[in-house]
Amino acid sequence: MTSRSSSGRTLMKARERFLEGGSADGIGVRDEIRASWVRSRQLAVAADRVEPAQVERPHAQSLLLDCARPVLQDVAAELADEPVALLLTGPQGVVLDRICGDNSLVRRLDTRRLAPGFTYAESSVGTNGIGTALETRRPTLVLGGEHFAGDLCVFGCAGAPIIHPLTSALMGVVDLTSWAGDANTLLLSFARSVAGRIQDRLLERVSKREVALMHDYLLACQHNTGPVLALSNELTIMNAHTQQSFDAVDQSALLARVGDAAGSAEPLTLLADLPSGQVVRLAYEPAFTDTSVHAGGVVRVQTQVPVAGRREAKVAPPVRLPGVVGSSAPWQRVCRGALDSRRRGEWLVLEGEPGVGKLAVLTGVHLAVSPTEHIRVMDPASSSEVDAWLESVADELDNPGPGTLILRRAHELPDEAVSGLSELLMSHLSRAGAPAPVWVAVTMDSGARSAALEAELLPHFPHTLEVPPLRRRLDDLAPLADHFARRFSRDQELTISDAAMNMLRRMPWQGNVEQLRRVLSRAVRQRRTGVIDVDQLPPECRSVRRRRFTVMESLERDAIVEALDTHDGNKELAAIALGMSRATIYRKIKGYGIHLDAS
């Protein structure tokens, strides 16, 4: 007992030290608790009291409640003489049900609003058995002083996630809460057991349609060595052959093409032109339950199908630019377009959000085409530097030999600099003829064009490319992260763990590649060899709160955004390019929350 009390006092001191602004490293706090404390602090959760958000009408999942309530009632009967509360929450941490036979514990839970209708996500109350289990998707035990909010330190709680048996979706958490002095690791074992019993009942109740579709899919995989897809309104599956044969953009196009067919109760054969240039035949077979209810369909994919009367599409080889990392289709399109412009001697404008890598593309293009020639990168002029800046530009344009001139952040130029630059470029072009000996490229932020830029500068540039933000090319995230880790560790044996990479993938990346560079730079300060794990990532990576799309949803969303960008927001043309109906693309734009410019 003395040892346990001493341990509790040590933990409370560690918590106080952390809340006062100190680090939780090396103070006897478990890794998962330390990571949760950091997330809670970054989310500005109150540490002295609990303030759970209240949901007026909790969205109770009927399937989860129907399956869980009999289990909870049976368990409550087993624990009738114990001071333990059983709680069930949804996937956002909203308490859906609570059963407790101990009146004193019930009263204390009520004062902490640990009751139906209140949210116990980490973002609401900090480290706790419910919210931390939801955040990590792992069974989690939080004892006494391990809670972030002081009001919860009287409790010990164990939360276990409830996972859908077929879709692997996180449905909620079952939590067992007791007094801190009575709680131990057995509470966590019991929570796991209860969650398992609920999942068993879920499996019994899984839709017969899902079971029928899964049966036909597995049968197709056994008798087919190529790519196979299965999909319904609730379920989408693709085998390893599909993932290996097609990149992310092509996978999205496949799903979009067969999405409309999934509602058909008749076999269909479709052709699809994929963004990579491949042409594939899709053989769709509907799936039915034993009572002849339509359950979706299974699609066998045959690649490289010749079409009568048309040439076979050629797949362009990937563009490799020195110092540039990325192989996703949106990034490759930009690299290829910039390289073509450089080879033709056509001046170029690169637009994009700050930090997307515009300068890296232009520098890589220069090194790929003319590595021995002169290159000059010039930052924008301030109002007081216009004359000197224009003189430097004139010197570069008058350089007798070929070379590259990159003018960064043109949107920051004052109007007098824009006018002067326009005159210099016009004079240079009239003297040099075509192609001009100096290749000029301009970078600017998206949506930052001034009237002066539109009227005076941009007419000198025949082509503009939009560089996609990092969140639209997440296929490039892992190679970029590895690139920065090697660079900052000076090519030491340094890798990034799967858990850390998953956390990086969840970030919105408003700062794009530059933000990733900063993140990895800070991580390498803590870990220079071995494996970068979640604990080495800066706090901004561990406090992300946004909707988590499935892999399939992310692929489809990115393909739709890419098609809309390619066709200037024209939904009908984007739908044709993706092989889906106009009604489908409208529905998916709304479902994914894709924002389009009013223009």
Residue 561 is predicted with a pLDDT of 72
Residue 433 has pLDDT above 60, yes or no: no
Residue 177 has pLDDT above 60, yes or no: yes
> Which position has the higher pLDDT, 411 or 28?
411
Residue 156 is predicted with a pLDDT of 95
Q: Which of residues 205, 223, 239 is at a domain's end?
A: 205
Could you tell me the pLDDT band of residue 360, with boundaries at 50, 70 and 90? very high
Residue 516 is predicted with a pLDDT of 93
Could you tell me the pLDDT band of residue 51, with boundaries at 50, 70 and 90? confident
**Which residue type does 85 have?**
A
Could you tell me the pLDDT band of residue 262, with boundaries at 50, 70 and 90? low
Residue 590 is predicted with a pLDDT of 74
CA angle 468, 558, 336 (to 5 degrees): 40
CATH value at residue 42? 3.30.450.40
The per-residue pLDDT for range 327-343, each reduced to its tens digit, is: 887 888 899 999 999 99
Residue 310 is predicted with a pLDDT of 45
State the residue range of the domain holding 573: 551-592
Q: Are residues 108 and 138 in the same domain?
A: yes
Q: In the chain, how many H helices and how many E strands?
A: 21, 17
Q: How far apart are CA 253 and CA 559, in angstroms?
A: 7
Closest to 135 (Cα-Cα) out of 235, 42, 24: 42
Q: How far apart are CA 582 and CA 593, in angstroms?
A: 17
Which tokens hold the place of 133?
A: 């289990």
Q: Are residues 508 and 571 in the same domain?
A: no
Q: Does residue 310 lie within any of the structural domains?
A: no
> Which position has the higher pLDDT, 315 or 538?
538
Phi-psi region of 97 (alpha: psi -120 to 50; beta: other; left: phi over 0): beta
Q: Does residue 141 lie within any of the structural domains?
A: yes
Q: Does residue 168 lie within any of the structural domains?
A: yes
3-state helix, strand, coil in the chain (%, to 5): 50, 15, 35
CATH value at residue 532? 1.10.8.60
Q: Are residues 43 and 117 in the same domain?
A: yes
Residue 545 is predicted with a pLDDT of 39
Q: Are residues 168 and 195 in the same domain?
A: yes
Q: Does residue 314 lie within any of the structural domains?
A: no
Beta carbons of 285 and 216 less than 8 angstroms apart: yes
Interval 176-199 mean pLDDT: 91
Q: Which of residues 408, 438, 468 is at a domain's end?
A: 468
Q: Mean pLDDT check: name the lowest of 169-173, 424-428, 492-496.
A: 492-496
Q: Mean pLDDT check: name the lowest of 22-26, 33-37, 565-569.
A: 22-26
Q: Does residue 577 lie within any of the structural domains?
A: yes
Residue 498 has pLDDT above 90, yes or no: no
Q: How far apart are CA 345 and CA 348, in angstroms?
A: 9
Q: How far apart are CA 500 and CA 534, in angstroms?
A: 5
Could you tell me the pLDDT band of residue 2, with boundaries at 50, 70 and 90? very low
Could you tell me the pLDDT band of residue 7, with boundaries at 50, 70 and 90? low
Beta carbons of 171 and 195 less than 8 angstroms apart: no
DSSP 313-349: PPPPPPP--TT----SHHHHHHHHHHHHHHHHT--EE
Q: What is the pTM of this model?
A: 0.46
CA distances (Å), 356 to each of 229, 302, 347, in order?
A: 34, 36, 20
Chain Cα centroid distance, residue 202: 28
| Total number of domains constituting the chain | 5
> Which position has the higher pLDDT, 433 or 204?
204
Residue 23 is predicted with a pLDDT of 67
Q: Are residues 201 and 226 in the same domain?
A: no
Q: Are residues 114 and 21 in the same domain?
A: yes
The per-residue pLDDT for range 446-482, each reduced to its tens digit, is: 878 888 888 889 898 988 899 989 888 888 999 999 9
Q: Are residues 197 and 65 in the same domain?
A: yes
Residue 546 has pLDDT above 50, yes or no: no
Residue 554 is predicted with a pLDDT of 59
The per-residue pLDDT for range 273-283, each reduced to its tens digit, is: 787 777 888 88
Closest to 213 (Cα-Cα) out of 298, 107, 138, 94: 298
CATH value at residue 417? 3.40.50.300
Q: Does residue 343 lie within any of the structural domains?
A: yes
Q: Are residues 454 and 368 in the same domain?
A: yes
Q: What percentage of the chain carries pLDDT values higher than 70?
A: 87
Q: Does residue 597 lie within any of the structural domains?
A: no
Q: Which of residues 434, 468, 502 is at a domain's end?
A: 468
CATH value at residue 586? 1.10.10
Could you tell me the pLDDT band of residue 24, with boundaries at 50, 70 and 90? low
The per-residue pLDDT for range 209-246, each reduced to its tens digit, is: 778 888 888 888 877 778 888 887 667 788 877 877 78
Mean pLDDT, the chain, rounded, equals 83
Q: Are residues 227 and 266 in the same domain?
A: yes
Q: Does residue 312 lie within any of the structural domains?
A: no
CATH value at residue 289? 3.30.450.20
> Which position has the higher pLDDT, 54 or 355?
355
Most confidently modeled range among 130-144, 279-293, 486-500, 559-573: 130-144
Residue 20 has pLDDT above 70, yes or no: yes
Q: Are residues 161 and 63 in the same domain?
A: yes
Q: Mean pLDDT check: name the lowest of 19-28, 133-142, 291-300, 536-545.
A: 536-545
Q: Are residues 133 and 193 in the same domain?
A: yes
Q: Are residues 267 and 162 in the same domain?
A: no
Q: How far apart are CA 504 and CA 523, in angstroms?
A: 12
Residue 304 is predicted with a pLDDT of 57
Residue 291 is predicted with a pLDDT of 79
Residue 598 has pLDDT above 60, yes or no: no
Residue 359 has pLDDT above 90, yes or no: yes
Q: Mean pLDDT check: name the lowest of 125-139, 197-211, 506-520.
A: 197-211
Interval 540-555 mean pLDDT: 55
